[in-house]
Structure formats: structure tokens, C-alpha cells
């Protein structure tokens, strides 16, 4: 923690703003000279590096949710596995930018693997021939290691993940994000500005306390101009394995994800039911779709994946026309 000692004035206008270094709050700030010189406002050279590195990556998808624990990482793993299994010629990679709570190594079943450095950059860890993963989890010495970093360090790590990983040629790069609308999200979107983001998949659970944060995330997407591919509702209904009756564990008192999508004019991609076996497969890093092919989750997932593919490839065409 000692490495970033930033005493920021209470009303700091932000280093990127026009008032940087000139506002009254800047008086006495140790960074005032840097800010007023305009140095902080220059375009980050990382943006170009990222663009170059990701030239051979066709679609970049962000998995977002304002709320934690709604299933971003689970859905990331399901979507990426399904995309890879659907067509063996399709190359898919996952980048886990949840720096403080990386879950992908466990969920994709590659816990304890290591990342190797080569002349062309970091080699990601391969789960299948056409599915690879990069996560800070691979760089930690032990499972109990905490990443106690403030924003700027997280920003640097995300930049390295985007510019220094040797992904090869990819059809889909899926970014799993932490909850919130802060450093990780801003870093990812700003570094991907030149490379382009295909769109975001927004994950929610049905109850209002989750929707509340998800609306904030959608507001974020609108502010930074990321198109939203669609909303996925997770943990919808629970079907008791004994009596087969369905129960609402997280009651959709305000209409859940479907109503949210309708209100905000975003496509609703579907509801994924709560299946305890899915949680277990994630814990054990198993491929849910091959382990439990008869689960209602798989039935919902297939059309969802097809729709995502359809929308992504369509976006590509329309942007080509625009050019």
C-alpha cells in the first residue's frame, strides 16, 4: 500500500478535466504542476499499444454488472465455453480483470496453473485448444494472497493484460469484470477505446436491491458509450430437486431483469434458473454443459449464445458499412 501515497484534495477536479491544476482545490496539491502542464491530459500511449496487440481480435465483449455475486464469472465461463464448443475453429479467450477477487482460474478449472513469459509476451493458460485465460490469479504466490492495491496499480495491471498477453488470433475476447463502476471499468473501456468494444452483456439477479446497482452500470455504459448486447437474468427460479415445485429465492418484486430491459429498451436475452449443480461445477472447475447436458440451464443457454453470436457478427457488418 505504501507505494501509492496520493493525498488528493477534497474537490479535485480530476486529472483529465480542463480545470486540472487550475481549480481552487488544486492549490497546494503536490501534483498541481503536472496537472497544469497538461501532461496528465495527454493520450495514454497504452491505448495505441492495446490497439496493436488486439488487431487480430475480432469481438471484445465485457461482462458487466453493478452488483457483486450475481454470476458474472459463472456467465463468463458458460458463454466462453459455449462459444468455443460450438465451433472448434472459433478461438475464444477470457480476460479476468477482477484484480481483487479473481474467480476465473477456479471456475474454468485451471487453479494453480502458471503463466509463462515469452518474447512475444505473456502466454495465457489454455483450457481447451481454442479457449484460453489470463487472470491475476495466476500471478499470485498462494491462494490467501490479497491484492491490496489502489486504483492506479490496478490500472497498470489491466493495461499490461491488454497489451502484453500473446492471445494470438481470436474471434472472441471476453472480459470478466468486478462489480462497480470504477477503476477497472474505466481502465478497460479507455484502453479499449481505439481497439473497439463490440458490446457488453449485463448480468443481474431478479431482486430490486441488485437491479438498483445494475441500473447504475447501464448508466455507466451509456456515459462511456458502450453498446449493450443484452441483459441476462441469473438465479431466477429455483426448482426443488425433490418436489419439482419452483420457488423464487430472490423475488422479482419490481419485475426483475425482463422489466429492466423493457424499461431501458435493451434486449432481454433470457433467465437462467438457479441450479445447485451449476454452483458446484463452478467450484470444481468442471464444464457444466458436458457434465449436466440435461439441466434446464443448458436449454436456456443455447439460444442465448446463438443470439449473442448473431448480434456480434451483425455489429461487425454494420460497422464495416459505416466505415
Residues between 73 and 112 with contacts to another protein, criterion CB under 8 A: 73, 99-101, 103, 106-107
Determine whether the annotation assigns residue 199 to a binding site. no
How far apart are CB 253 and another protein at their closest, in Å?
Answer: 7
* 205 in contact with another protein (CB under 8 A): yes
Q: Which is nearer to another protein, 99 or 201 (CB)?
A: 99
Size of the site for another protein (CB under 8 A): 73
Please work out, in degrees rounded to the nearest 5, the angle formed at the alpha carbon of residue 102 by the alpha carbons of 97 and 108.
Answer: 100
Q: Which is nearer to another protein, 175 or 308 (CB)?
A: 175
Q: Is there a contact between 278 and 107 (Cβ–Cβ < 8 Å)?
A: no
Phi, psi of 144 (to 5 degrees): -90, -5
3-state secondary structure of 274: strand
Q: How many CB atoms lie within 10 A of CB 19?
A: 14
Q: How many CB atoms lie within 10 A of CB 120?
A: 11
Q: Which is nearer to another protein, 53 or 159 (CB)?
A: 159
Determine whether the annotation assigns residue 26 to a binding site. yes
Pairing of strands 121-123, 116-118: antiparallel
* 67 in contact with another protein (CB under 8 A): yes
Determine whether the annotation assigns residue 73 to a binding site. yes
* 147 in contact with another protein (CB under 8 A): yes
Q: Which is nearer to another protein, 102 or 170 (CB)?
A: 102
> In the range 165-194, which residues lie near another protein by CB under 8 A?
178-183, 185-186
Helix, strand, coil percentages, rounded to 5, for the chain: 40, 20, 40
At 133, list the grid cell: 485465460
Residue numbers belonging to the annotated binding site: 12, 26, 29, 35, 66-73, 240, 243
Residue numbers belonging to the annotated binding site for ATP: 66-73
Amino acid at each position: 500500500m505504501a507505494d501509492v501515497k496520493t493525498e488528493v484534495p477534497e474537490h479535485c477536479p480530476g486529472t483529465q478535466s480542463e480545470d486540472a491544476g487550475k481549480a481552487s482545490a488544486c492549490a497546494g496539491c503536490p501534483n498541481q504542476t503536472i496537472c497544469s502542464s497538461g501532461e496528465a491530459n495527454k493520450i495514454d500511449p497504452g491505448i495505441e499499444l492495446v490497439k496493436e496487440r488486439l488487431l487480430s481480435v475480432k469481438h471484445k465483449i465485457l461482462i458487466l454488472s453493478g452488483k457483486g455475486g450475481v454470476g458474472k464469472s459463472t456467465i463468463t465461463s458458460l458463454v466462453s465455453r459455449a462459444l468455443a464448443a460450438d465451433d472448434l475453429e472459433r478461438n475464444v479467450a477470457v480476460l479476468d480483470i477482477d484484480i481483487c477477487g479473481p474467480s476465473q482460474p477456479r471456475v474454468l478449472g485451471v487453479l494453480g496453473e502458471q503463466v509463462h513469459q515469452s518474447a512475444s509476451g505473456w502466454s495465457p493458460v489454455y483450457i481447451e485448444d481454442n479457449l484460453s485465460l489470463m487472470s491475476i490469479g495466476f500471478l499470485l504466490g498462494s491462494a490467501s494472497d490479497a491484492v491490496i492495491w489502489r486504483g492506479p496499480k490496478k490500472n497498470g495491471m489491466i493495461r499490461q493484460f491488454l497489451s502484453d498477453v500473446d492471445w494470438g488470433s481470436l474471434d472472441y475476447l471476453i472480459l470478466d469484470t468486478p462489480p462497480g463502476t470504477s477503476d477497472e471499468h474505466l481502465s478497460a473501456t479507455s484502453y479499449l477505446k481505439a481497439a473497439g468494444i463490440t458490446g457488453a452483456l449485463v448480468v443481474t439477479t431478479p431482486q430490486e436491491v441488485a437491479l438498483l446497482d445494475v441500473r447504475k452500470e447501464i448508466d455507466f455504459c451509456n456515459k462511456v458509450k458502450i453498446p449493450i448486447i443484452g441483459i441476462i437474468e441469473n438465479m431466477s427460479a429455483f426448482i426443488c430437486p425433490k418436489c419439482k415445485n419452483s420457488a423464487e429465492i430472490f423475488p422479482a418484486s419490481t419485475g426483475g431483469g425482463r422489466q429492466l430491459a423493457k424499461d431501458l429498451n435493451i434486449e432481454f436475452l433470457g433467465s437462467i434458473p438457479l441450479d445447485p449443480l451449476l454452483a458446484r461445477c463452478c467450484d470444481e472447475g468442471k464444464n457444466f454443459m458436458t457434465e449436466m447436458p440435461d439441466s434446464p440451464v443448458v436449454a436456456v443457454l443455447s439460444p442465448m449464445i446463438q443470439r449473442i453470436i448473431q448480434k456480434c457478427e451483425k455489429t461487425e457488418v454494420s460497422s464495416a458499412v459505416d466505415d
